A and B are shown apart, each in its own frame.
Chain A
């Protein structure tokens, strides 16, 4: 099974690429619908099936998608859905979809197209680090190629027409995942978050809509999709993310200057628990790995890179953990396996500096 194979791969958007220490990944998503066709939420199942086939056929003609897999959502079990969700290749809403929807996934996992989510097509490009421009160009090209084979619903006044009016216009949602662990330790996190919502940005936790900002992992995205060009939307978001990076960098510098011992204490405690605890919940894993990730950036720990920690953040999630073991586990078993797995990976990781 193809989904099963994913668990053996390093997730490309978490593991490689430009390491900024603060920006984990960038994602650009486009919402598209077909002309004169009911949106998925209002269409019958037969119509959804038919549309799925049309979109899959069209995508089959797109060069960038050669070698892509088409996954019928009806054919996926619970674990496989969970895995795709944790890899941020599908939304929570889509994970609950059954018949009449499909995921088209490029071989390198950078391009994912959800067919019949809330819209007929949700095209996303995702990549590690801060690369909004690059992911936009990538998805823009795929979109233009698909456009040659399908008729999109579009109005010159309102742009691309979407099932929810919050996406109409460009249909563009650009998101950047940032790791604001320093601001959390200095106590400035909430203030910065408040500022972001005032800027009319959507702010979410690591696992999408409704999830909390565990470990200071925050996803920032644009809300407005109408009245501004794609370039303008991306430039605004980029500006804000660059500001966030400066804030976080300053917080990390302040920590090292004024409260080095506090930072060291936090990182040491996180590492000690991760290495020796018998049970670790997924929430706790995110919190502790987040602090360890900060420690790696501040050169307080030896033996693991940030990319390595990024990967641990992913593979300790319930779907990945169970997929690796090849069976469903209850939550107690999961916490046990997670603790064991993390301890194994961090066996040779040590605090770099002498206490002082």
Chain B
């Protein structure tokens, strides 16, 4: 019987699997730990976010994002506005409503990660790919300090337009 990889106590009956750049990352969790982490699917960061959410207190904010009254820090669109119109308020909304968007995008599109043209000066996909691989490895090795550092690097690199900055309205 598989034990929960987080608490190491209870029986793992949640199986998380994520493929990052061809590498499969797996986690076995008990239901309690899974719920505590709040399963967030975010390509490239999902599982690391989840694990780090459990292990670092400063990420507790992440969990609150799942609550009903979240709104976009950049444009102040509320989750209810988005649900009503199915239109986002600003580029930053993709971060704010990531949890709602992930299953929608998976349903609508053939993939969940962008492939194709990028604007001038956009971070190179290859660099980010390497960072993601390193992140996956760090999580697998339960080296959460390193994982957190890599996560922040990826965040910084992928922020383009989706930063929580001031949005002019």
Contact = CB atoms under 8 A, between A and B. Distances in A.
A166 interface: yes
B114 A226 contact: yes
Interface stretch (A40-48, A97-105, A262-270): A40-48
B134 interface: no
B111 A226 contact: yes
A170 B117 contact: yes
Given A38-B167, A38-B169, A42-B75, A159 B91 contact: no
B168 A154 contact: no
A43 B114 contact: no
B8 interface: no
A294 to B, nearest CB: 35
- Interface of A, helix, strand, loop or mixed by DSSP: loop
Of the listed residues B92, B94, B116, B122, the one surrounded by the most CB atoms of chain A closer than 10 A to its CB is: B116
Interface string A30-54: 0001011111011110010010000
Nearest to A32: B119
Contacts of A227: 109-115
Given A35-B161, A38-B169, A156-B128, A164 B114 contact: no
Contacts of B115: 169, 227-229, 232
- Interface of B, helix, strand, loop or mixed by DSSP: loop
Contacts of A170: 114, 116-117
Interface string B118-146: 11101101001000000000000000000
Contact of B162 (A39, A42, A153, A169): A153
A344 interface: no
Interface string A138-176: 001001100110011111111111011110111010000
Interface in A224-264: 224-232
A224 B108 contact: yes
A33 B158 CA distance: 16
A143 B117 CA distance: 10
A118 B85 CA distance: 12
Contacts of B75: 38, 42
A282 interface: no
B88 A164 contact: yes
Contact of A155 (B94, B104, B116): B94
B101 interface: yes
Given A39-B90, A41-B87, A227-B113, A47 B162 contact: no
A223 interface: yes
A111 to B, nearest CB: 17
A47 B169 contact: yes
A152 B162 CA distance: 11
5 contacts: A50-B168, A155-B161, A164-B86, A227-B111, A230-B116
Given A156-B123, A227-B115, 7 more contacts: A38-B75, A42-B77, A155-B162, A157-B44, A163-B88, A168-B114, A229-B115
